[in-house]
């Protein structure tokens, strides 16, 4: 079994990728959206009268996962939490942050050459991968598909090293972004969620609550939504690379009505994880289950949470005015 597996502005100019300057370019895009997420997050933590009125309709389903959360993206309301602020490893759901950082900071048409180091990294870690081949040249956008659909740790490694020069530098930037977004219970040690410690022997962690907050922000980027909502992506062979076909590890896509992403994750230390989202009748729900005991269980839990969440919308519409 491979670890890290499952089971988010493009310019036409071809120049060296550059990190956006924080002021003034990034302020409208990142700072203001981040502030919006932090502000609405207080609603998640504290609850609202609207949530309370909906809670009287029915109780949330019991879930087997030890850590879970369900969030209403339409009304920015917490619907359900279970040990949502308990820190735990999150496996390849880490790649949500990796994708976010790439999307808002680097050129998507920048080409990355796949090196032998990429292949060695995957083999040494028995990591999930997109089957990338040495000497192929792929764009950052193509590598985002390779990372988010088949949960390719090879793609994550290749982008991180190409864009920042080393894994450590990219991870440092991930932690800076986490701080900016107010993810106070999140710490990254890898770009892909593998069980590898930092120089001080610490392992990466996050919480269901922080993952809701992070993904709420990431889903505001149209390309991120497109990436994580894609079931299959095929890349024909060219003079620069082989042909590839990547299938999304998120089995809710195509099986659960209205599913729109987001990311799976699996390691022996993190268990089976899933960040998921779905839309029905214009209402959007976002959820997290972490440390499930099996792949099937995470889908059973997520489906139950979505069904319950959408039933609240239906019942709320049918309730007579007070």
How far is the C-alpha of 322 from the C-alpha of 320, rounded, in Å?
6
Among the listed residues 10, 11, 214, the one whose alpha carbon sits nearest the alpha carbon of residue 94: 214
95 catalytic per annotation: yes
How far is the C-alpha of 138 from the C-alpha of 142, rounded, in Å?
6
How far is the C-alpha of 102 from the C-alpha of 108, rounded, in Å?
8
Among the listed residues 6, 51, 73, the one whose alpha carbon sits nearest the alpha carbon of residue 289: 6
Q: Which sign, positive or negative, has the C-alpha torsion 44, 47, 50, 53?
A: positive
How far is the C-alpha of 207 from the C-alpha of 321, rounded, in Å?
38
Q: How long a stretch of residues is the chain? A: 322
How far is the C-alpha of 245 from the C-alpha of 203, rounded, in Å?
32
30 catalytic per annotation: no
* Of 8, 105, 151, 291, catalytic: 151
Do the annotations mark residue 13 as ligand-binding?
no
* Of 8, 30, 92, 128, catalytic: 92
151 catalytic per annotation: yes
Burial of 200 (0-12, 13-18, 19+ CB in 10 A): exposed
Provide the H-helix boundaries in the chain. Answer: 32-46, 49-55, 95-105, 116-125, 140-148, 153-164, 167-180, 208-218, 222-228, 295-318
How far is the C-alpha of 298 from the C-alpha of 87, rounded, in Å?
18
* Of 30, 82, 95, 141, catalytic: 95
Catalytic residues, by residue number, are 92, 95, 151
Annotated binding site for substrate: 263
Annotated binding site: 263
């Amino acid at each position: 079994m491979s670890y890290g597996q499952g089971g988010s502005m493009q310019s036409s100019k071809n120049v060296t990728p550059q990190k956006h300057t924080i002021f003034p370019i990034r302020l409208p895009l990142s700072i203001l959206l981040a502030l919006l997420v932090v502000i609405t997050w207080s609603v998640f933590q504290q609850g609202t009268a609207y949530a309370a009125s909906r809670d009287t309709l029915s109780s949330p389903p019991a879930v087997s996962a030890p850590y879970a959360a369900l969030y209403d993206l339409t009304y920015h309301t917490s619907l359900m939490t279970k040990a949502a602020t308990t820190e735990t490893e999150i496996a390849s759901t880490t790649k949500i942050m990796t994708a976010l950082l790439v999307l808002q900071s680097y050129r998507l048409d920048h080409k990355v050459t796949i090196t032998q180091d990429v292949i060695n990294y995957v083999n040494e870690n028995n990591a999930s991968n997109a089957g990338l081949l040495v000497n192929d040249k792929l764009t950052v956008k193509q590598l985002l598909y390779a990372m988010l659909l088949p949960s390719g740790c090879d793609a994550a490694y290749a982008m991180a090293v190409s864009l920042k020069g080393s894994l450590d530098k990219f991870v440092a930037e991930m932690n800076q972004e986490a701080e900016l977004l107010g993810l106070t219970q999140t710490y990254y040690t890898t770009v892909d969620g593998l069980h590898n410690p930092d120089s001080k022997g610490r392992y990466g962690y996050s919480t269901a609550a922080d993952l809701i907050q992070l993904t709420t922000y990431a889903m505001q980027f149209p390309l991120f939504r497109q990436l994580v909502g894609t079931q299959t992506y095929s890349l024909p062979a060219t003079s620069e690379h082989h042909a590839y076909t990547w299938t999304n590890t998120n089995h809710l896509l195509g099986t659960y009505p209205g599913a729109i992403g987001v990311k799976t994750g699996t390691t022996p230390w993190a268990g089976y994880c899933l960040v998921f989202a779905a839309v029905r009748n214009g209402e959007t729900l976002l959820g997290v289950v972490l440390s499930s005991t099996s792949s099937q269980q995470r889908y059973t839990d997520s489906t139950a949470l979505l069904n319950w969440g959408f039933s609240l919308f239906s019942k709320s519409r049918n309730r007579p005015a007070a």
